[in-house]
Structure 1
Amino acid sequence: MFPEVGSEVIVFCEPASARVVAVNSRYITIEWPWRGIDDSSNFRWDGTFSLPHGESDPEWVPYLLEPAASELRAGDVCTVSIPPTRLHVGHYEEYDPPRHLGWAPAPTAGIYVLPPERADYADDEDAGCMLYLGSADPVRLNPVDD
């Protein structure tokens, strides 16, 4: 499936357990449960992912943490997922060969998604989130048939 820019998709990702590495006023950093570090890559990824949290942060991601980020501290274990969510496609790109970003397996595509109410801000990198496909992250897309 090649999502068209401007279309809407249902995005979801099965839950997985993750350990909290750090929490500050803007971000919660967790050990990313799906990817492995690719030591052969020129990019150095440390195995973590930082998610924005708090009402004042303009950044947005579709990931849900349970319990909520406000309840978590370093060392805690949480669940990270994307519940089925209807999202706007800001852009889509395929990578041939796969794009080496420091983790394995390397993704074969990327889709920039944002909530429909933010669709007019698709050029603002904080309005949405790039999700990588064809990698270990179990992100799934379904077209919206309205």
Structure 2
Amino acid sequence: MFPQVGSEVMVSCEPAPARVVSVGPRYVQLEWPWREVDNSSFFQWDGTFALPYGESQSEWVPYVTEPAVSELAVGDVCTVSIPRTRLHVAHYEKYEPARNLGWSPAPTAGIYVVPEERMDQEEGGCMLYLGGADPILVEPLSE
């Protein structure tokens, strides 16, 4: 069953260790623990993921780190995860074949989720890629 636009879902992702690659005023960049670089891909993904924080108030992702992003320095190892979070589905895409984004395994779906408090913002959410390496669990909530 595909999530319906406008429906609510519970999203989570099990914790994994990640090393901090860089820290700036808006982002902390982590070596992403779940994906492998696909060197055969036209897209040159570098194996990292940037988490917004600080001056990046307009951006949002459901991922959290332990310790908190604001406490991290280059070279630190932290835990990254998505705690069980109730979110709204703003967009859903199914990819047949799997979508080539420069990492392996490639995702088979994408879901754009938005928290309740950001529903009025045009770009208030985050695209999560499903069916690839990231162990994201999306559970539909009955209304």
Please, what TM-score do these two structures have when normalized by structure 1?
0.95
Unmatched tracts of structure 2, length 5 or more: none
Q: Counterpart in 2 of 1:48? A: 48
Letter in 2 for 1:144: L
Instruction: Output the CA distance in 2 between the equivalents of 1:41 and 1:141.
Output: 27
Using the alignment, how far apart are the partners of 2:109 and 2:57 within structure 1? Answer: 27
Q: Give SS of 1:70's match.
A: helix
**RMSD of Structure 2 on Structure 1 (CA):** 1.0
The Cα of 1:56 is off from its aligned counterpart by 5.2
Residue 20 of structure 1 contacts residue 72 of structure 1 at CA under 8 Å; is this kept in 2? yes
Other-structure match for 2:15: 15
User: SS at the partner of 2:10?
Assistant: strand
Aligned length: 143
Partner of 2:139: 142
How far apart, in 1, do the equivalents of 2:35 and 2:83 lie? 19
Q: Which runs of 5+ in 1 are unaligned?
A: none
Q: CA deviation at 1:54?
A: 1.9
% identical aligned pairs: 69
* Residue 80, structure 1, aligned to residue 80, structure 2: yes
Q: Aligned with 1:101: secondary structure?
A: coil
The match for 2:126 is 129
* Misfit runs of 4+, over 2 Å: none
Q: What is the aligned partner in structure 1 of residue 62 from structure 2?
A: 62
TM-score (norm 2): 0.97
